[in-house]
């Protein structure tokens, strides 16, 4: 999708949910990558941040690093990006590890790749530069990409607001649950909550649903039925 930026008259490319993730090759703090091919078979969280050596971004990177094991268990590769250069990235990650203690987190090792994107080619391809917010820094974009390389969820935050990591994890587990169990998930769903089953496709099925005595199923109306999905079933999706 292309949108016209109001102030600058620039065309901004914005990938959409359901699109194949735009491909690119990049230099990162973990070596060169071929995206998304290098991560085929894994979920990917591709996220951008405005700049190295800034406080909100530092708090976010420490939180990502602190949750690395949880993302590994969810078969998920983290990939960061900003329009800074590689040496800035390396210096910043070294500072985080060696000097910063924040909310009980210290000695935090960022082991996922951080892309250098001085050219802004990747940031522009993913709509991470939003000129009415900032022309030279990426906003806080988060792309959830499935093991087939398809974009499944996109969340954008502005420069001044750090991401909610509970929500990032909830979205990831939610998408994996949707795929594994063929269900939809209601507002504020958390593992262990009831899930929504596909709507009845015939009048007969609608009647059957409303008259069902299945104790695991609740119908609020013929088109809105839920069933139990125990937390253990959701937890099974994690790698041991
Ligand atoms: C930050 O990460 O602290 C930040 C970066 C750019 C603009 C505002 C805040």
pTM for the structure as a whole: 0.95
pLDDT of residue 206: 94
Residue with tokens 């009980």: 104
pLDDT of residue 4: 63
Q: Per-residue pLDDT tens for 92-126?
A: 999 999 999 999 999 999 999 999 999 999 999 99
How many angstroms separate the alpha carbon of residue 161 from the centre of ligand 1?
8
| CA proximity to 140, closest of 169, 125, 121, 161 | 161
How many angstroms separate the alpha carbon of residue 42 from the centre of ligand 1?
30
- Return the SS3 of 24: strand
d(CA 133, CA 12): 13
Contact assessment for residue 179 and residue 210, using Cβ atoms and an 8 Å cutoff: no
Q: Is 219 a catalytic residue?
A: no
**Ordered structural domains, the chain, with CATH:** 4-164 (3.40.30.10), 182-239 (3.30.1020.10)
Q: Per-residue pLDDT tens for 18-71?
A: 999 999 999 999 999 999 999 999 999 999 999 999 999 999 999 999 999 999
Contact assessment for residue 223 and residue 199, using Cβ atoms and an 8 Å cutoff: yes
pLDDT at 212 over 70: yes
């Amino acid at each position: 999708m292309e949108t016209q930026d109001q102030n600058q008259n620039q065309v901004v490319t914005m990938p959409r949910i359901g699109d194949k993730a735009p491909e690119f090759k990049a230099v990162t703090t973990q070596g060169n990558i071929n995206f998304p091919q290098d991560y085929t078979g894994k979920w990917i969280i591709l996220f951008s941040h405005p700049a190295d050596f800034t406080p909100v971004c530092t708090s976010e990177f420490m939180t990502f690093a602190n949750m690395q094991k949880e993302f590994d268990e969810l078969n998920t590769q983290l990939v960061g990006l900003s329009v800074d250069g590689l040496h800035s990235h390396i210096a910043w990650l070294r500072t985080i590890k060696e000097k910063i203690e924040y909310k009980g987190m210290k000695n935090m090792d960022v082991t996922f790749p951080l892309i250098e994107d001085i050219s802004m080619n990747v940031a522009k391809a993913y709509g991470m530069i939003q000129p009415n917010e900032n022309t030279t820094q990426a906003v806080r974009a988060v792309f959830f990409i499935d093991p087939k390389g398809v974009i499944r969820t996109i969340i954008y935050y502005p420069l001044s607001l750090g991401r909610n990591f509970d929500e990032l994890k909830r979205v990831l587990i939610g998408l994996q649950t949707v795929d594994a169990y063929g269900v939809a998930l209601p507002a504020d769903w958390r593992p262990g909550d009831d899930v929504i089953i596909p709507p009845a496709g015939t009048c007969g099925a609608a009647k059957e649903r409303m008259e069902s005595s299945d104790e695991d199923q609740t119908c609020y109306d013929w088109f809105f039925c839920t069933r139990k999905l125990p937390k253990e079933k959701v937890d099974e999706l994690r790698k041991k």
